[in-house]
């Protein structure tokens, strides 16, 4: 009997925070991929009252069940992926008790804030990597293309980064937020199909992002972080996938929140997915880009999942409803149905 796999894509603004639960015979194994922005853990409302964010709510849920995060994967050192993790560890003295193995590259670049509640027990300037190692956590670095790791009932194959992309990181995380780029949500899908996706993401941190295929029982899922899509496609080809033998997935978490700079038509030739996942509320970066959504709607029969339901209402225009009569039926609100 195959184990049950549950995927939760938390609503963490413009970031990523994904929980994967592999369960068999009542024994769960929990994987956390990234932690979203700082306010994913805790934030202040308009009346300055402290409120729990979706990450803290999830952590509390695990605590009540006496479960831990067996594997934490930090795909890369951008604030919209690590901010919530740093905030959690900074605010919760028992956070480290809930963390098992950690995969991360360049963890020495991630500082723990000087106002951390842990400062009574750790020196100022301590990095996340050093903090975890001093707490005797298993920290695995050099998570690079080609490595394969066993997990309960299956395995994880790393697609990116390449060793070169891993090694060229020279810029430290600084938490800066880019300005939102204009979107094309008002344009019909058919008007965007000629976009050639030649403009690429040149971010060194994004190009160092961990992406992977998870195989559990007879099921495969693809998690792309913010990875360089050309490197992803090359890795899939080297694993033997092609147009006549595509990687058949249950879900694909699209790279960089559905950015057109991290997408390629080649991906749709190499991968056949039941569901494509967009993780973003679009507030800062304008993601997902409609050019990506257009290709998925036009060239596949896959379902689409937005972790913010209002993205569908914004991204689809009246002409799309005419051109693609069943488009509403392709949008799902539950990844685990």
Q: Domain extents for the chain?
A: 4-140, 148-332
Tokens, residue 62: 């695990």
Between the alpha carbon of residue 35 and those of residues 9, 29, 47, the distances in Å are 11, 18, 25
Residue 23 has pLDDT above 90, yes or no: yes
Look up the pTM and report it. Answer: 0.88
Say how far apart CA 250 and CA 139 lie, in whole Å: 29
pLDDT band for position 112 (cuts 50, 70, 90): low
Of 98-102, 212-216, 282-286, least confident by mean pLDDT is 282-286
257-276 mean pLDDT: 92
- How much is the pLDDT for 117? 46
Place of tokens 């306010």: 39
Cβ-contact 293, 315 below 8 angstroms: yes
Say how far apart CA 180 and CA 173 lie, in whole Å: 19
Cβ-contact 264, 236 below 8 angstroms: no
Under the phi-then-psi rule, with left for phi > 0, alpha for psi from -120 to 50, and beta for the rest, what region is 259?
Answer: beta
Cβ-contact 153, 217 below 8 angstroms: yes
Which one is predicted more confidently, 196 or 270? 270
> Could you tell me what percentage of the chain is helix, strand and coil, using 3-state DSSP and rounding each to the nearest 5?
30, 25, 45
Cα dihedral 263, 186, 182, 262, rounded to 10, equals: 0
């Amino acid at each position: 009997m195959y184990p049950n796999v549950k995927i939760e894509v938390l609503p963490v603004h413009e970031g990523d925070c994904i929980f994967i639960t592999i369960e068999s015979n009542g024994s769960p194994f929990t994987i956390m991929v990234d932690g979203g922005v700082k306010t994913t853990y805790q934030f202040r409302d308009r009346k300055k009252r402290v409120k729990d964010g979706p990450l803290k709510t999830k952590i509390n849920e695990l605590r009540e069940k006496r479960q831990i995060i067996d594997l934490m994967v930090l795909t890369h050192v951008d604030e919209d992926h690590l901010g919530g993790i740093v905030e959690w560890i900074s605010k919760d003295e028992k956070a480290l008790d809930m963390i098992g193995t950690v995969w991360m590259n360049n963890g020495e670049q991630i500082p723990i804030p000087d106002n951390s509640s842990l400062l009574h027990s750790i020196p100022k300037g301590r990095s996340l990597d050093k903090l975890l190692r001093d707490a005797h956590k298993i920290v695995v670095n050099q998570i690079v293309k080609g490595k394969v790791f066993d997990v309960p009932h299956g395995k994880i194959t790393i697609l990116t980064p390449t060793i070169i992309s891993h090694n060229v990181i020279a810029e430290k995380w600084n938490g800066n937020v880019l300005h939102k780029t204009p979107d094309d949500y008002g344009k019909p899908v058919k008007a965007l199909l000629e976009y050639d996706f030649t403009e690429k993401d040149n971010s060194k941190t994004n190009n160092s992002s961990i992406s992977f295929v998870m195989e559990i029982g007879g099921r495969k899922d693809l998690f792309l972080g913010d990875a360089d899509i050309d490197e992803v496609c090359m890795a899939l080809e080297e694993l033997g996938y092609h147009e006549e033998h595509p990687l058949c997935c249950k879900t694909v978490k699209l790279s960089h929140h559905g950015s057109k700079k991290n997408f390629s038509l080649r991906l749709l030739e190499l991968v056949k997915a039941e569901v494509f996942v967009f993780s973003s509320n679009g507030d800062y970066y304008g993601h997902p880009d409609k050019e990506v959504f257009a290709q998925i709607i036009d060239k596949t029969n896959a379902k689409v999942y937005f972790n913010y339901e209002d993205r569908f209402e914004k991204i689809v225009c009246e002409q799309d409803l005419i051109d693609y009569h069943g488009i509403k039926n392709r949008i799902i609100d539950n990844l685990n149905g």
